[in-house]
Structure 1
Amino acid sequence: MQSKEQTRYSDEELKEFHAIITEKLAAAQEQLNFHLQQLAERASNEDGKVRGLDDGTTSMANEDMHNLANRQRKLVQHLENALLRIDNKVYGICRVSGKLISKERLRIVPHTTLSIHAKQNR
């Protein structure tokens, strides 16, 4: 007797992933808010304003903070998209192979849309 290959995660499994993603999303949003607050403080602080070509460190620090905020913003968006995939019951399906991504991978990178095999072959 052959067992049919699972094509999607069960509602119970999706609840588990929803909880993981919700927790990671809250942490990511908190981190994003921190970065945005830092940027706002630097912009309103006289020391945060660029004073000329001699003071490139301030510009670099601001650029680094912008990069961190943008990276965090992307993570938040990816996590929100993962929640939408859960709502649509298509979460955990590799966009290349159409097969389920392993639970272990999803627990580590819950917003992924690629199985490890598909990721390695890109």
Structure 2
Amino acid sequence: MSDVKLKYSEEDLQEFKEIILKKKARAEEDLAYLKSAYKNDANNGTEDTSHSFKSFDEGSEVMNKEANVQLAIRQEKFIRDLNNALLRIENGTYGVCRVLGKLIQKERLRLVPHATLSIEAKRKQ
């Protein structure tokens, strides 16, 4: 019988859960900020400027809103991935590489707590 661990201890899981919850709270704050930025209808005081400048400003504003929408979509996916990681903690599969079935290194999980692949499996992709 091998001495390879197949799951993390409760203490390890609690550490990862705290990391995930902190990242999730920060991500939700960032998402709220992004959403408020792209939903903002403020004209930034351009109503009394020349039409050509206003057109340029509106085009720039549209580009900024589109960029913020894309960032918000990425942030929503990140939050979903963090929620999935919390579910894996609850069901006892957290930290196990979905390709190799081995534990993902703690250092990797501390940096990327929603990871489902070990570095070894990621390199093989």
Structures share fold, TM-score greater than 0.5: yes
The alpha-carbon deviation at position 55 of structure 1 amounts to: 4.9
Return closer, same or farther for 1:52/1:117 CA change in 2, 3 Å cut-off.
Answer: same
Alignment correspondent of 1:45: 42
Q: Distance in 2 between matches of 1:19 and 1:54?
A: 43
2:104–2:117 contact (8 Å) kept in structure 1: yes
Cα RMSD for the two superposed structures: 2.1
Q: Give the TM-score, by structure 1 length.
A: 0.86
Which runs of structure 1 show a deviation greater than 4 angstroms over 4 or more consecutive aligned residues? 51-55
The alpha-carbon deviation at position 31 of structure 1 amounts to: 0.4
Count, aligned residues: 117
What does the per-residue CA deviation read over 1:23-61, in whole Å, with 9 as the maximum and x for residues that have no partner?
1110000100110111121xx3346xxx87995322211
Aligned AA (2:105) = S
Q: Give the TM-score, by structure 2 length.
A: 0.84
Q: Which has the larger radius of gyration?
A: 2
Structure 2: which 5+ runs fail to align? Answer: 45-53
What does the per-residue CA deviation read over 1:80-110, in whole Å, with 9 as the maximum and x for residues that have no partner?
1100000011100001101100000000000
Seq. identity, % = 47
